[in-house]
Amino acid sequence: MPGVSLRRALALALALACHRGTALGPPYSQLPASSSPTATFQLRDGRQMPMFGLGVYVSKPGAETYDAVKWALELGYRMVDTAMIYGNERSVGEAVRDSGIPREELWVSTKLWDADHGFEQAIAACEKSLQELGVSYIDLYLIHSPNTGKLVETWDALLELRRRGLVKSIGVSNYDVKHIKALSDHGRELPVVNQIEMHPLVYQERRPVLEYCLENNILVQAYGSIFFGQTQWLEDPAVTSVTAAHPSKTPAQVLLRWGLQMGFHLIPKSTKRHRLEENMGIFDFELSAQELGTLSSMKGALGAYWNPLETPVDLGKTSADEL
């Protein structure tokens, strides 16, 4: 089914932004002219990343993750996001290889865990992830959080991994403005992606980091887009009122469409084939500026995720002589 043009969605999001003073967004990225699971965001390094993907957080290694990735790829997904700490990289890699889809048509992302910060440790951890995934390169490699510090030193390792051709694009996750500025303040290039918890409940409090990412052409990749499946919030009047205006759509689809029109990269998780297909059904309708505003005004907490954005900055070694 052809996607709804995002040019109109852009205009709607800009209409919402006009009520927010001098803020740059929403939307918080340059939206493609049209949308579909295989449409792409252009990253600040020039590479094109599919605008919609599958997340496998808390998907059990083995059949559960393998089947989810296999089904997603059959349905038309072309991007998968995993992490070393999830313990399911091997299952992701097996499904990717068994799909029969040429490797260059797929986007595989994984993350460096907190215990592996530091230059040599990060190099070794990436090599282990490559082995687990069974691939020769990783499309997007993220630092999972700033929790264990050594931010510049660890970032230098990712730059080296890219130089060696082991990773194509590099980014961060759960970084606040101060963590990203630690890189630029020490002369390092900026990440292409910042993956953070992002949904209507935390939107208002996280607008500073969203504005910073937009200003610096860093794509915000959202997790928690459908409220971790929590019924309390899926049945909130703000969500149900917007969903009622789109009778063929579910609360999950409305929330994902909110994220899409706000300019976020989406990686919703499911291990059920019908939910994977449902999550893709967000490209044939659009939310009005009023509906975007209704959802954006929600406040609350899921209690399902951490918040490393509050972590103090620790640089680690910042010069080649120290490494």
Which residues are annotated as catalytic? 86
Residue in 227, 231, 252 with CA at minimum distance from that of residue 242? 252
Residues pairing with 169 in the sheet: 140
